[in-house]
Amino acid sequence: MNWWLIGMVIVVAIAIIWYVRQQAKAANQRQVDANTAEADRADNARPVKKSGGLLQEATNIASGQSYERAAGEIGEMTAELAQARRDAELAAARLSNQAGEALAAVQAAAAAHGGAVPGDGTRHCPPGYPIKGAMPEMRYHLSEQPSYERLIPDVCFPAAAAAEAAGYAAAGDEPGMRDGAGGVPPGAVRGDGSRDCPPTYPIKANQATRHYLEPSAPAYATTIPELCFSSLESVRAAGMSPAPR
C-alpha cells in the first residue's frame, strides 16, 4: 500500500473540511451584517418622538416659544382689562347723567321755595340748606331726628317746604308714624328706615315676627326696626315677645 498516497488523501480531506467551515462562517457573518444594517436603516427611518415635560419646556425656552406664548396671554389680558375699563366708564357716565337729571328735576320742583343743592359726599349740608334729603327713599331728615347726624345727604333743602315741593316726605313723620296712628300701638313710633330709634323709644320691634330687641341684645345695633317702643311694658302690651338669641 502506498502510504504516501494515503497521506495526501488525508491532507486533502482536512483541507476540504476547513474550507467548508470557513465558507459557512463567512456566510453566517454576512447574514449578521445584513440584519444589522437593516435594523440601522429602520431606526433611522423611524420618526423621533418629541419628549415633553422639562425637556420640552427647555426647548421652548431656548427657541423663545414660552416667552411668545406668555406675551400673547398678557396681550389678551390687557385688551380685556381695557375693554372692562371702557365699559365701567360708560356705566359711570350713564349713572352720572341719570343722577344729574334727577337732581335737576328736584331743583326745579323746589325752586319756588328756595331750591336745593347737591350733597358734597359728607354728612354736612351747606349753611342755609339744613334739611337733608335722601334720593332713593325720597325722605327728608330734620336736625332733631336721631338719623340726621348719621345720614350722608344726596341733596340739601333750605326748608321742609322745599323738600315737600320736590316730592319728599318727612322721615319718621309721614302718616301713620306717630304714636297711636295708623295701627301703631300705644307707646310706639314707626322706624324711620335707619338703625336708630328715638332716644325716648329705645326698644326695637319687628311687626312681622312679633319680636322685640332691647339695647343689650347682640343684634340690636344691626337691626333696622319697624317700630320703636318707649318701654318694655308698652312692647309687651302690644303682644311682642323677646327675639331669640
pTM more than 0.85: no
Range of the domain at 141: 112-170
Q: Let me know how long the chain is.
A: 245
The answer as to whether 71 is a domain residue is no
Instruction: Please choose, from the candidates 214, 201, 200, 221, the residue with its C-alpha nearest in 3D space to the C-alpha of residue 243.
Output: 214
| Cα angle 113-107-103, degrees, rounded to a multiple of 5 | 150
The answer as to whether 166 is a domain residue is yes
| Judgement on whether residues 164 and 125 belong to the same structural domain of the protein | yes
Task: Give 13's contacts (C-beta < 8 A, 6+ positions apart).
Answer: none
pLDDT at 99: 62
When divided into structural domains, the chain yields a total of 2
pLDDT at 177: 42
The answer as to whether 90 is a domain residue is no
The answer as to whether 87 is a domain residue is no
pLDDT at 181: 43
| Judgement on whether residues 118 and 158 belong to the same structural domain of the protein | yes
pLDDT at 84: 75
Q: What are the average pLDDT values for consecutive 10-residue runs of the chain, which has 245 residues?
A: 62 70 72 69 57 58 63 78 74 62 85 90 92 85 81 91 90 48 76 85 90 94 91 92 89
Q: For the chain, give percent helix, strand, coil, nearest 5.
A: 45, 10, 40
How far CA 93 is from CA of 58, 87, 90, 97, 99, in Å, comes to 49, 10, 5, 6, 10
CB–CB of 224/193 below 8 Å? yes
Separation of alpha carbons 172 and 175, rounded Å: 9
| Judgement on whether residues 159 and 197 belong to the same structural domain of the protein | no
- Single residue among 139, 170, 201 that ends a domain in this structure: 170
The answer as to whether 89 is a domain residue is no
The answer as to whether 29 is a domain residue is no
The answer as to whether 6 is a domain residue is no
pLDDT at 174: 41
Decide: helix, strand or coil at residue 205: strand
The answer as to whether 65 is a domain residue is no
Residue 181 in grid coordinates: 296712628
Separation of alpha carbons 71 and 200, rounded Å: 66
